[in-house]
Amino acid sequence: MDDLTHLTFEQALAELQRTVAALEAGGGDLESSIAHYERGMALIRHCHTLLDRAELRVRMLMPTGEEAAMPAGARGGEAAPEAYPFDFDADREPF
């Protein structure tokens, strides 16, 4: 498997899309399918690494305290649920 570090996020994502399409089309022998799968997994890891680096760069540019404004999991488009979405007083009965 060749080195992926030279690929930009966009290049890696485009190759991943082509790889998935090839797997979905089928028709290849087992070894070819496994090679496509391995390549796809390597591309996914590379994309995640690039996204993590980009997120870190954005967080470093944000003034302290503004990180809370960025929803957790925003990278994947899935906002994580808030830990305490409502006012919460542990000493008070809920009703």
What is the tens place of the pLDDT at every residue in 61-70?
A: 988 765 555 5
The CATH number for 56's domain is: 1.10.287
Residue 31 included in any domain? yes
- Contacts within 8 Å (CB) and 24+ apart, 70-75: 75/51
Residue 35 included in any domain? yes
Number of domains making up the chain: 1
End-to-end CA distance of the chain, in Å? 60
Q: Model confidence over 38-61: pLDDT tens digits?
A: 999 999 999 999 999 999 999 999
Residue 3 included in any domain? no
pTM of the model: 0.64
